[in-house]
Structure 1
């Protein structure tokens, strides 16, 4: 094999350089170097700044061609390659070369990506985002004993005693116009970019375990319910409840924000359907404009603010609310009626109608 490589390198300078790069990284991998050493070696070989980013760990390493940590502002990558482990993208490697990429930059980054994946797998739990669904289910199940739950969390890479927040993500929601849904692992990285995070699908709901999720980072077209940090079993139950209350206007909800509304989730579905106010709101669904008007007014509690959101004159909204009051058989603009309308709308969301 080596004799063939030598013969090929004599025929093509590019092949010669590529073979030398492959040999260079093979040596580094045999020596079991860590990520900083890989970054330093790559920057020196490329003679430009090299970077390594791990999505789940939120770790970024940037090294100058002189082998020191880069202190300059990041420049646009001249070339970059994803790092994959077990068919999951766990990070990125790149070069910041002034001007166009070099002829061998792609080869260098391909080998660096392979070396980074090997190093991540070798040194501690892999910082991948996707996890074994069985482990995740064991961690959040009410039927798990504490010893089994602690072992599952340890295998998932979470430190003992860490306060985890469980996020329930609706994965079957149609994407927003022009915005395809991201895979569950990428949603996990977006929610918690700088801390360990694990995700797994359970039926039609995605489960994300994180220490400090930020729902404001979720893309359009995704709905998420967040439990309170603490016990994964309790947080998962709360996250599922919060997810049921989400709407297009409020696509992400913390369980704590629900307050007394969370009690509605304990009411049997049959009792909700039989309620006169819920039935009346269901009748409004035949006219989507009326339902949207009522929902917007209930969310704002203000005629003028609802008119702004609906892009209507406030008098038009007032006329709609008068018509809606006749269907509901109560006035949603007085304090008692507003409370009744809000509860009926929340109950309808719980029913999934």
Structure 2
């Protein structure tokens, strides 16, 4: 490498500088430095403040060009590069250079980001959110023995004495982003299994789940039962109710055990299926079943209550159910819920 740098120096001074940056970080990695040492060395090399922030710790390290912890307030980053490990962003590195970035700043930060990821992986545990799906399956599998489940939990970073909550997720957002929002504290692990995402955590904040994500949250302390509950709760999610804790279902959870053939053969459910061809009618019925009154339904749909009354009269005739009667409302709610569970 040194001989190559000498030869390149006769051709391109910037190429020589780039090679020397690579050699600099290769030397640091051979010496097995830690994250603070990486920040110090990078700041000295860059001759300006260098910073490293790892999302898992939430702590930022800023070092000035003299190798000491930067005491001045953080300035705007002149160049920033993400730190990635296993295709997941686990942190950020940056330089706070007054004026425009230097010609080698981007290369320096690229090498710093690679080095930081290697240090995290080496000295870990690596605080990545995405986990080995095989380990996650071992944790939530109903046929796993307790010894194997406990070992998998330890490998994933969970304390054996703390119960693990399980969340079943369907989302267009990356699973690691959903998990990080759902559980600010560590550890939290996630993995895709077939068409459902699995999130394991000891603490959860369901209010932080972003829009467009559907999530069922298990309640049991045992991970395998919690997973079964989470999958059941996920089936009850709708656009109106995207997050469903299993505990909130109560006796409704029993509806998930009704065979789908029996559900399809039910006259009320078949009538709901025909109604689904008209999205406005379906939305009106769904809102009415949730609100329980004409005026609350009108408020939620932003229409006059007389319009809701006319719609519900027409829907009731189509279903063969008197929706304004308590018994009819119960029938409609059950039929709508069973229809929503079909093929889910």
TM-score (norm 2): 0.89
Q: Choose between structure 1 and 2 for higher RCO, CA contacts under 8 A separated by at least 6 residues.
A: 1
* 2:236 maps to 1:245: yes
Matched with 1:328 is 319
Instruction: Tell me by how many angstroms 1:129 deviates.
Output: 2.2
Matched with 2:86 is 86
Matched with 1:350 is 341
Gaps of 5+ in 1: 172-180
Contact 2:167 2:230 in 1 (8 A): yes
Contact 2:298 2:304 in 1 (8 A): yes
* 2:119 maps to 1:128: no
Gaps of 5+ in 2: none
Contact 1:52 1:92 in 2 (8 A): yes
Take 1:82 and 1:191, find their aligned partners in 2: how far apart are those partners? 22
* 2:314 maps to 1:315: no
Distance change (3 Å), C-alpha of 1:140 and 1:79: same
* 2:288 maps to 1:287: no
Contact 2:54 2:60 in 1 (8 A): no
Take 2:235 and 2:291, find their aligned partners in 1: how far apart are those partners? 20
Instruction: Tell me by how many angstroms 1:2 deviates.
Output: 1.1
Take 2:130 and 2:319, find their aligned partners in 1: how far apart are those partners? 47
Matched with 1:160 is 160
Matched with 2:331 is 340
Instruction: Tell me by how many angstroms 1:47 deviates.
Output: 4.0
Contact 2:5 2:20 in 1 (8 A): no
Instruction: Tell me by how many angstroms 1:11 deviates.
Output: 4.4
Matched with 2:117 is 117
Instruction: Tell me by how many angstroms 1:316 deviates.
Output: 1.1
Matched with 1:32 is 32
Take 2:166 and 2:70, find their aligned partners in 1: how far apart are those partners? 36
Task: Provide, for residues 301-321 of structure 1, a one-character-per-residue CA deviation record: whole Å limited to 9, x for no partner.
Answer: 242332233232222111101
Instruction: Tell me by how many angstroms 1:99 deviates.
Output: 4.1
Matched with 2:61 is 62
Task: Provide, for residues 300-347 of structure 1, a one-character-per-residue CA deviation record: whole Å limited to 9, x for no partner.
Answer: 224233223323222211110111121232333343333332222221
Alpha-carbon RMSD across the aligned residues, in angstroms, is 2.5
Distance change (3 Å), C-alpha of 1:298 and 1:262: same
Query: 1:198 is matched with which residue: 189, 198, 201?
Result: 189
Distance change (3 Å), C-alpha of 1:242 and 1:51: farther
Instruction: Tell me by how many angstroms 1:14 deviates.
Output: 2.6
Take 2:234 and 2:77, find their aligned partners in 1: how far apart are those partners? 38
Matched with 1:176 is none
Contact 2:189 2:200 in 1 (8 A): yes
Take 2:225 and 2:84, find their aligned partners in 1: how far apart are those partners? 33
Matched with 1:101 is 101
Instruction: Tell me by how many angstroms 1:256 deviates.
Output: 1.7
Written as runs of structure 1 = structure 2, the 5 A alignment for 1:117-266 is 117-170=117-170, 181-228=172-219, 230-266=221-257
Distance change (3 Å), C-alpha of 1:339 and 1:97: farther
Instruction: Tell me by how many angstroms 1:76 deviates.
Output: 5.1
TM-score (norm 1): 0.87
Take 1:325 and 1:160, find their aligned partners in 2: how far apart are those partners? 54
Distance change (3 Å), C-alpha of 1:152 and 1:84: same
Contact 1:131 1:200 in 2 (8 A): yes
Query: How many residues are treated as equivalent by the alignment?
Result: 342
Take 2:205 and 2:242, find their aligned partners in 1: how far apart are those partners? 13
Task: Provide, for residues 105-134 of structure 1, a one-character-per-residue CA deviation record: whole Å limited to 9, x for no partner.
Answer: 211111111111111111133222222222
Written as runs of structure 1 = structure 2, the 5 A alignment for 1:263-282 is 263-282=254-273
Distance change (3 Å), C-alpha of 1:70 and 1:187: farther
Contact 1:225 1:243 in 2 (8 A): yes
Distance change (3 Å), C-alpha of 1:49 and 1:335: farther
